[in-house]
Chain A
Amino acid sequence: MIARKGARAEVKLAVSLREGYHVNSNTPSEDYLIPMKLTWNAAPLEVEETIFPAAKLEKYDFADKPLSVFSGDFEILTRFRTPASAPTGATVLTGKLRYQACTSSMCLPPKSVEVRLPVDVR
Chain B
Amino acid sequence: MKAPELRQIAPDFTLRDAEGRQVSLSDYRGKVVLLNFWATWCGPCRIEIPWFVDFERQFKDRGFAVLGVSMDEEGWDAVRPYIARMRVNYRVLMGDSMVSDLYGGVESLPTSFMIDRDGRVARVHIGLVSRSEYQNDINALLDQSHSGNGGPVAGRAAARGTE
Chain A residues with a Cβ under 8 A of chain B = 30, 32-34, 60-63, 67, 100, 102-103, 105-110
Q: Is the interface of A mostly helix, strand, loop or mixed?
A: loop
Name the one of A32, A62, A103, A106 contacting B40, with C-beta atoms under 8 angstroms: A32
Are B107 and A108 neighbours in the complex by a CB distance under 8 Å?
yes
Chain B residues with a Cβ under 8 A of chain A = 39-47, 71, 73, 82, 107-111, 126-128
A106-B126, A108-B108, A109-B107 as given contacts; A32 in contact with B47, CB under 8 Å:
no
Q: Nearest chain A CB to B162's CB is how many angstroms away?
A: 11
Are A105 and B40 neighbours in the complex by a CB distance under 8 Å?
no
Are A33 and B107 neighbours in the complex by a CB distance under 8 Å?
no
Name the one of A34, A62, A106, A110 contacting B46, with C-beta atoms under 8 angstroms: A62
Are B108 and A62 neighbours in the complex by a CB distance under 8 Å?
no
Name the one of B39, B82, B110 contacting A109, with C-beta atoms under 8 angstroms: B39
Are B41 and A32 neighbours in the complex by a CB distance under 8 Å?
yes
Are B43 and A33 neighbours in the complex by a CB distance under 8 Å?
yes
Q: Nearest chain A CB to B83's CB is how many angstroms away?
A: 13
Are A106 and B109 neighbours in the complex by a CB distance under 8 Å?
yes
- Residues of chain B with a CB closer than 8 A to A34's CB: 41
